[in-house]
Amino acid sequence: MRPVTRPDSNRWERVGRDLAAQESGRRRADVEEEFHSLERALREGDDIDADDVEDARHALNALRRLLEDQLAPLAGVEPWGSSPPSMPYGAAREHYHGVDCDASKSAAPGDD
């Protein structure tokens, strides 16, 4: 019977670093792709729409969450505040609480 040994900590550190590197590469590529699409549309005189901006925001926020939640602690660096939300606060409030967040609508009776 072989003696039980502790896992090689260097091996697990390498695995963690490799996973962080892969995730960093994926997130960087997503941001690059989304912003390249925006740049190309603007240079070619095409319109950009809310979906284009939302896609770029999602990619950028995912990269920021990776940086603040995983990479900063790995480096022993204090994160810059909390990571960005996965959806805008107004949309989250409307989705979860049924609150209409359109500021242009009046809640006063008789205002149409």
In tens, the pLDDT along 9-59 reads: 889 889 989 999 999 999 999 999 999 999 999 999 999 999 999 999 999
Q: How many domains does the chain have?
A: 1
- SS3 per-residue string spanning the chain: CCCCCCCCHHHHHHHHHHHHHHHHHHHHHHHHHHHHHHHHHHHCCCCCCHHHHHHHHHHHHHHHHHHHHHHHHHCCCCCCCCCCCCCCHHHHHHHHHCCCCCCCCCCCCCCC
> Does residue 68 surpass a pLDDT of 60?
yes
Query: Does the residue 106 lie in any domain?
Result: no
Query: Does the residue 35 lie in any domain?
Result: yes
Query: Does the residue 4 lie in any domain?
Result: no
Query: Does the residue 3 lie in any domain?
Result: no
Query: Does the residue 50 lie in any domain?
Result: yes
Tell me the residue range of the domain where 92 lies: 12-97
Query: Does the residue 55 lie in any domain?
Result: yes
Query: Does the residue 5 lie in any domain?
Result: no
